[in-house]
Structure 1
Amino acid sequence: MTAKPTTHEEYLATLREDQREALVALGARIDARLPGYAHCVSYAMPAWRPAQAKGSKDIVIGMAAFSRNLGLYPYSGSIMPHVAERAQAAGFTTSKSGFTFKPDQPPPDWLLDEVIALRLAEIG
């Protein structure tokens, strides 16, 4: 049995090159938007939380890789209804919990900014 990753680096090391490159780039974009936030692994995916937070309710955003796509998740079912229509119009597949994208088609800045802003407002 393979141990579950406990850091972003461990998680990223398990991915195909195209997935790893895409999520490293996305992670850098998230880091730039969340300075001072801590990296963690929650629900087996790399995530970001306030440095002082200890529970999953304060996690802002997470990302994951799957066999056919990558995903971005705001850790709240109330965020996606605000962005789903625009995200779908931009070619992303959405669900209640997040949206998926291909390694060569990362989320645009407006979508990343909006999801993070909505989640930060929700956390308070």
Structure 2
Amino acid sequence: MIKLLSTRPKFTTHEEYIASMPLDVQKILFEVQARVEQVLPEAERCISYGMPAYRMRGDGGTGKVFFYFAGFKKHLGVYPPVNQDSRLIAELAPYRNEKGNLAFPLKDPIPFDLIRRVALALAKEYAQK
């Protein structure tokens, strides 16, 4: 069996990940980070699946990650899908892909308040598990 080495960088902090992006995307990612931390100060930064993410503090660092975000060439990705808030799900319809994950086009204004609400909804879903 041949083991292939990944050429993708391994990030250990949000800052490392964000610094690897173009400046216009960096600004967006820092704003997402600020909005999440404003409404969920108990959330702990981590890197999961190679992207910035959050989990709740107090779980010993082993708890499930509830919010991921990533910059791409043409969009901002937010994961995983919201599953329990039907009103919010309806508002997110224009941004949902076939898996339900969110893709916000970089050419359009980023709806940071909507992303903030996604983080709150996902934290609530996480707390109920």
TM-score under structure 1 normalisation?
0.78
CA contact (8 A) 1:84 1:94 kept: no
C-alpha spacing 1:20/1:80, structure 2 compared with 1 (3 Å)? farther
Partner of 1:92: 95
Offset at 1:46?
0.4
TM-score under structure 2 normalisation?
0.75
| Aligned with residue 117 of structure 1, among 103, 109, 120 | 120
Offset at 1:66?
1.3
The structure with more radius of gyration: 2
2:55 and 2:100 map into 1 onto residues whose CA distance is 17
Q: Is there any run of 5+ residues in structure 2 with no aligned partner, and where?
A: 1-6
Deviations 1:1-40, CA, capped at 9 Å, x for gaps: 3531110000001101111111111111111011132110
C-alpha spacing 1:118/1:65, structure 2 compared with 1 (3 Å)? same
C-alpha spacing 1:109/1:37, structure 2 compared with 1 (3 Å)? same
C-alpha spacing 1:20/1:28, structure 2 compared with 1 (3 Å)? same
2:90 and 2:98 map into 1 onto residues whose CA distance is 11
SS of 1:39's partner is strand
Q: What do you get for the CA RMSD once the two structures are aligned?
A: 2.4
Identical pairs, percent: 29
Offset at 1:84?
3.4
1:16 and 1:5 map into 2 onto residues whose CA distance is 16
Q: State the number of aligned residues.
A: 118
Partner of 2:58: 52
SS of 1:55's partner is coil
Q: Is there any run of 5+ residues in structure 1 with no aligned partner, and where?
A: none
2:21 and 2:62 map into 1 onto residues whose CA distance is 26
